[in-house]
Amino acid sequence: QVSMIQIGSSIYGKRTEQEAATPPPRAEVPFRLDIMPNGYRVLIGKQTKNVPKRNNQFDLDSLKQELLQVKARYPEKIDAVVTMTDTLEYENLINGMDALLVSGFPEISIATGSAR
């Protein structure tokens, strides 16, 4: 017996056209902060936002603003991954982690390898 499977159907019933697509539960969207010699890079899902250095210094204020915008879009998200180029000082990693903490991301993982 051959049958047809309708895309968009599930065991919970069909999704109607009026229903909006909902984000993944607990905002299971990949979220990473890269700390690089030229500044920060915030990756959330498929979106990338660069936070370049200002006056040859890491711009922590702009990073915190960007992280707060991520938190506003994904209020249930509490985890993040941090990568850092090996040539940078350890203090930069701590500052990036602090920015994540104050922005509402307490579950921080540090990935091995460096940011590219």
Q: What are 10-66's pLDDT values in tens digits?
A: 444 555 555 555 655 555 789 999 999 999 999 998 899 999 999 999 999 999 999
How far apart (Å, rounded) are the C-alpha atoms in residues 39 and 53? 5
Number of Cβ atoms within 10 Å of the Cβ of 8: 10
How far apart (Å, rounded) are the C-alpha atoms in residues 95 and 93? 5
The rounded radius of gyration (Å) of the Cα atoms in the chain is 19
Confidence of residue 5 (pLDDT cuts 50, 70, 90): very low
| Cα distances (angstroms) measured from residue 62 to each of 36, 84, 89, 99, 115 | 15, 18, 20, 10, 19
Residue 3 has pLDDT above 50, yes or no: no
What is residue 112's predicted lDDT score, i.e. its pLDDT? 72
Q: Considering the entire predicted model, what is its pTM?
A: 0.74
Confidence of residue 8 (pLDDT cuts 50, 70, 90): very low
